[in-house]
Structure formats: C-alpha cells, structure tokens
C-alpha cells in the first residue's frame, strides 16, 4: 500500500546515527489515490450536511424527549418474565432459526460465489448475472422476505428461516466470491498441470485457501442472523420477537423489558462465543506443527490440531442442524411442495408499478438516503474512535482496549428496531428517530469492522514512527490512518449500504423512510408498488457497491 511503505523506510535512510527528522520522516507522500479519497470524503460530508437539513436532524430535540424516555423506562421497570418456559422455548427457536438460515445461505452461496468470482467463473456474462443475483438478495430486506414467505407458507419458523437464508446470500456469497478472487493461483496451476478436471481443481486448490475466510464469514453471519431473527417475529415468522411484539402491543412493558434483557444477554453471549470460535478455528499456530503428508497417489493433508478442531466443529454443526430440523418439525421439502404458492406470491411483485404514488415515493427515497447518510456519518464519528481504541495493536492500554470492546459489544447487542422504538418514544415519529437509531447501531457494527481492520495493518510503519520518537497521536495520524484509510472508506460505504437497507425495516415502527411505504404496500397487498420500491433499493445498493469496488481498485 503506497501510503504505508514510505514512512517505514525513511527512518533507516537517515545518514549515520543521527536521529531522523520526525516532521519529515513520517509524513505520508501525496498520491492520486489519497487525493481521490479526500475528494470523496469532502463530497460525502457536503451531502451529509444537506441530508441533515432535509430530515430536520437536530440533536437538541433529544433534550425535550428525555422525559418521555424516562417515563417509558419507568413503566418497563422492574422487568418481568410472565412465562419463562415459553420465553425459553422461543429463545431456542430463535437460535435454531439463525443457525438453519445461515446454513441454507451457505449452501446457496458456495456455487454462486464460484460463478461470481472473476477467476473461477465460466464466462463474464455468468459472473455479471451471479453478481446481480447476489445484489438482489441483499437489496430485498429480510423483513420483506419474511412477509412474502408468511403469505405463501403461513405463520411459523419456516418463513423466517427462508427469509434469513435468502437475505444472507447477499452478504455471504459476496464475501465468499471476494475470498476466491484473492487466492494464490500457484496451487491451481500445479493441480491443472497434473491434468485434473475443473471440479478437482476447485476442490483441491481453491477450497483449502478460502476455507478460513469462509468459516469466519459463517460464524459472523450466525451472529447477525440471531439479531435479525428477533425482528422477524414481528411479522409472524417465529422466534422470540413474536413474544416481544405481543408484550408491546398489549402494553405489558415490564414483560417487554424482561424479554429485551433476555435477548441482550443471549446476543452478548453469542458474540463472545463467536469471538472464541474464530480464534480457535482460524488460529494459524494450530496448524504449525504439521505431520508429514501421507504418501500415495494423492497427497492427503495431515490431521493437525487445527484440522481436527475444525472437523469436530463441522460435525457438531451438522448434528445441530439435524436436531433443529427435528425439534422445529420442519420439512426440508416444504418449499418445493409449495413452490406454486411461492411463485404466485413473489410473482405479484412484477411488473413493478407506482402509479399515483410517484411524488410520495420520490420523497420517501430522498428521506431514506438522507437517513442512511446522517446515521452513517454520525455513527462513524464515534465508531471510528472506539474502533481504534478497541484494536489490540494500537490501544494505549489493556483497560482502554477491553472497555472499548465492551462498549462495541453492548451496542451491537441491541437490535436497531428496539433502538427505533426508544427514539420514537423520545422525539416522535419521523426520519430523525430512524437516523438516531441507525446511528447508535452504527457505533457497534462499524466500530467492530474498524477494530478488526486496524489490527490487520502492517506493524512496520507503527514501529518506524515510534523509533523516530513519535507519541501515540503521531502513530495514529502518521502510520495507522494512512494504512487503514482505504479500508475505513470501504467499511463506511458498506455501512451506508446496510443502513439504507435497515431503514426500510424501521419503517414498521414509524421511524421514517421508504420502509413505511414498503411495509404498507405489502400489508395492503399492493405488491406491484412493493416491487417498485424493491427495484429502487436494488439500484441504490448496486450503485454503492460499484462505488466501493472502484475505490478498492485504486489501491490494488
């Protein structure tokens, strides 16, 4: 990376043993890439200011809403659980939904990723088609998927699992394909030279390289789907969200708070479990002391500690899938048996039409974009500092590191829909409540991405700045930010993509944006209007994805 290599080299280039000139030694060089990034950031800042004005975003409005929030919290305390066995059963149901939805997404994503990756696709036309399918899965909100599946299959966990699975394809297939495109081509050339077929080439040379990234993505997506499955219960797609909706509708606020605390605890526990699993399964040291390969006509990988652990986890996952299917009473062939009903419901989205709603639709689209921009910008203002402090290689102390990680974890544990309910109670219905809810959620999501990216930067420039006498702030601005800026920009754009899509979900509680029109069109069976809205969301997501890819190519 151009901005990272120069600072690391300059201290050693100073003549003799004289201490280097710190002011010149660590200054990152000017480059076309850095110029483009700063121009893009300036444009985003300007658009964010205009967006804030459009939705009347004013933090002072929160001051007048604190009394309303306090009254709401007072009615929710002390928390109660009216029926612990039922809540426990719904909680288990939610965990199983998250697992089965992620497994379904993985099954679909693997072949789709090979078709979408530029180095494994059979033809560029196939690659573009696969990428379009992936983007469409990401563009349709999981809540809309759930509503449509409930219409076709009835109330229950199966619509929730299918909704989680199809929407997760949008993320998992994309990350799977990105991992394939980043492999070392040497092993593929070696396998190809033996005369092996294409399938053998992919299995023997590609899969072993991408498997660590795929495992990390799978674990991360289970974590995300656990949060999402809470929301799906609001539309009858199973899980503990169904009980939460009943409590809120019945004004049983103490019971609602009890359920919310249970949700927060299980999500926090899942976060810690996911971190432990990633460290255990992806630890390179566990494969370090590898036994010699078994000789024979084909070379079989040795059974190292890491491979053994991964095999046991795979077996445990398979067993959990079987137990979940049996416990939930799911017929895996049900979607095939009711395929006609599915085609009928989803077919109503076509042809899209917004006749008579053009003005309202245009206003709602602008409002959604404004919510996404303001939420992402305001959330990033705290997410980036917390993310830097939560990076082990940069954080000033162990206490600050663990504190920052705890804040990120606590925020990530609160579903955006619950945050939206709180902000609607504080400042009323409208886009500002949605922007505030998504902004707080951005702190947890983007903060984690920033921390992980900073931990992966090269340590050479950091040591060079320290050796030149630089303090913590000098290390941050001269070595950390120049290296991490492209990744931070990509994460910011991805967060904007996520927030725009999530804002469609928050419309269900009156938090503004196009989501209200989308949910109302589905509820009132105006599927052609819903199809138009989904198409608009698709183009927005596709444009952001292309912009992110263009910025990434600048630094290759």
Task: Output the pLDDT for position 169.
Answer: 92
Please name each of the domains of the chain with its CATH number: 28-57+355-554 (1.10.3720.10), 80-286+304-346 (1.10.3720.10)
- Spell out where 49-114 has E strands: none
Q: Which residues contact 235 (CB under 8 A, 6 or more apart)?
A: 143, 146, 147, 150
Task: Output the pLDDT for position 539.
Answer: 81
Q: Please give the C-alpha separations between residue 512 and each of 109, 407, 428, 431, 505, in angstroms, as whole numbers.
A: 32, 27, 10, 4, 10
Task: Output the pLDDT for position 18.
Answer: 44
Torsional class of 329: left (φ above 0), alpha (ψ -120 to 50), beta (otherwise): left
Question: Which letter does DSSP use for residue 413 in this model?
Answer: T
Task: Output the pLDDT for position 286.
Answer: 53
3-state DSSP assignment of residue 185: coil
Can you list the alpha helix ranges (DSSP code H) found in 394-513? 398-412, 416-427, 431-455, 460-467, 472-475, 481-506
Q: Which residues contact 221 (CB under 8 A, 6 or more apart)?
A: 102, 105, 168, 171, 172
CA distance 184 to 300: 20
3-state DSSP assignment of residue 295: coil
Task: Output the pLDDT for position 111.
Answer: 92
CA distance 479 to 465: 7
Burial (0-12, 13-18, 19+ Cβ within 10 Å), 272:
exposed
Contact 504, 514 (CB under 8 A): yes
Contact 437, 419 (CB under 8 A): yes
Task: Output the pLDDT for position 245.
Answer: 75
Q: What one-character-per-residue DSSP string does 143-181 give?
A: HHHHHHHHHHH-SSHHHHHHHHHHHHHHHHHHHHHHHHH
pLDDT in tens, the chain (556 residues): 444 444 444 444 433 444 444 444 445 555 666 677 677 778 878 888 888 888 777 766 666 566 666 777 777 788 887 778 888 888 888 889 889 999 999 999 999 999 998 888 888 899 999 988 998 888 787 877 888 888 888 888 888 899 899 989 988 898 888 888 878 777 777 877 777 777 777 877 788 888 877 887 888 888 888 878 877 777 777 778 778 777 777 778 788 888 888 887 887 787 777 777 766 666 655 555 444 444 444 445 566 666 677 778 888 888 988 998 888 888 888 888 888 888 888 888 888 887 777 777 888 888 888 888 888 888 888 899 999 999 888 888 889 988 998 888 888 877 777 788 777 777 777 788 888 888 888 998 888 888 888 887 778 888 888 888 888 888 888 888 888 877 787 788 788 878 887 877 777 666 667 777 777 777 777 888 888 888 887 787 777 777 766 766 665 5
CA atoms within 13 A on the CB side of 417: 24
Burial (0-12, 13-18, 19+ Cβ within 10 Å), 358:
exposed
Other C-beta atoms lying within 10 Å of the C-beta of residue 527: 21
Q: Please give the C-alpha separations between residue 220 and each of 217, 312, 355, in angstroms, as whole numbers.
A: 5, 19, 41
Q: Which phi and psi angles does 300 have, rounded to 5°?
A: -95, 135
Contact 260, 421 (CB under 8 A): no
């Amino acid at each position: 990376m151009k901005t990272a290599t120069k600072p690391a080299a300059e201290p050693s280039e100073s003549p003799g043993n004289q201490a280097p000139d710190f002011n010149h030694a660590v200054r990152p060089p000017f480059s076309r890439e850095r110029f483009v990034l700063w121009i893009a950031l300036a444009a985003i800042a300007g658009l964010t200011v205009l967006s804030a004005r459009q939705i009347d975003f004013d933090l002072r409005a929160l001051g007048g809403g604190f009394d309303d929030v306090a009254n709401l919290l007072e009615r929710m305390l002390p928390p109660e659980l009216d029926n612990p066995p039922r809540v426990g059963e719904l909680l288990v149901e939610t965990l199983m939904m998250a697992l089965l939805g992620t497994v379904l997404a993985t099954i679909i994503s693997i072949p789709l990723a090979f078709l979408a990756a530029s180095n494994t696709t059979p033809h560029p036309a196939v690659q573009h088609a696969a990428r379009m399918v992936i983007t469409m899965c990401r563009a349709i909100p999981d809540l809309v998927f759930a509503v449509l599946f409930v219409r076709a299959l009835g109330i229950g966990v199966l619509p929730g699992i299918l909704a989680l699975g199809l929407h997760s394809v949008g993320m998992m297939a994309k990350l799977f394909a990105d991992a394939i495109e980043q492999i070392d081509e040497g092993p593929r050339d070696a396998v190809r030279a033996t005369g092996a077929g294409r399938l053998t080439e992919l299995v023997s040379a590609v899969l072993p390289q991408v498997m660590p990234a795929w495992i990390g993505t799978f674990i991360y997506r289970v974590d995300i789907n656990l949060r999402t499955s809470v929301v799906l219960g609001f539309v009858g797609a199973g899980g503990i969200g169904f009980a939460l909706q009943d409590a809120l509708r019945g004004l049983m606020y103490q019971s609602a708070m009890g359920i919310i605390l249970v949700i927060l605890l299980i999500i926090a526990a899942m976060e810690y479990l996911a971190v432990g699993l990633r460290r255990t399964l992806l630890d390179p040291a566990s494969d370090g002391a590898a036994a010699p390969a078994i000789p024979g006509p084909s070379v079989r990988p040795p059974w190292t500690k890491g491979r053994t652990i991964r095999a046991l986890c795979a077996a445990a996952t398979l067993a959990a899938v079987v137990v979940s299917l049996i416990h939930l009473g799911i017929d895996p062939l049900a979607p095939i048996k009711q395929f006609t009903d599915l085609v009928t419901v989803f077919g109503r989205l076509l042809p899209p039409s917004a006749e008579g709603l053009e003005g309202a639709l245009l206003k709602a689209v602008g409002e959604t974009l404004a919510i996404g921009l303001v939420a992402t910008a305001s959330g990033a203002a705290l997410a980036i500092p917390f993310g830097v402090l939560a990076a082990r290689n940069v954080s000033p102390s162990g206490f600050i590191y663990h504190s920052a990680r705890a804040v990120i974890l606590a925020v990530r544990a609160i579903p955006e829909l619950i945050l939206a309910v709180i902000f609607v109670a504080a400042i009323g219905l409208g886009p500002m409540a949605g922007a505030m809810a998504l902004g707080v959620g951005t702190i947890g999501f983007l903060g984690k991405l920033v921390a992980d990216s900073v931990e992966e930067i090269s340590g050479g420039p950091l040591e060079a700045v320290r050796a030149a006498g630089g303090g913590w702030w000098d290390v941050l601005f001269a070595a950390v930010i120049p290296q991490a800026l492209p990744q931070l920009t990509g994460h910011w754009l991805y967060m904007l993509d996520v927030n725009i899509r999530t804002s469609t979900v928050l419309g269900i509680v009156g938090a503004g944006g196009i989501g209200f029109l989308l949910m109302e069109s589905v509820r009132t069976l105006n599927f052609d209007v819903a199809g138009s809205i989904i198409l608009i969301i698709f183009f927005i997501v596709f444009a952001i994805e292309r912009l992110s890819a263009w910025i990434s190519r600048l630094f290759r």
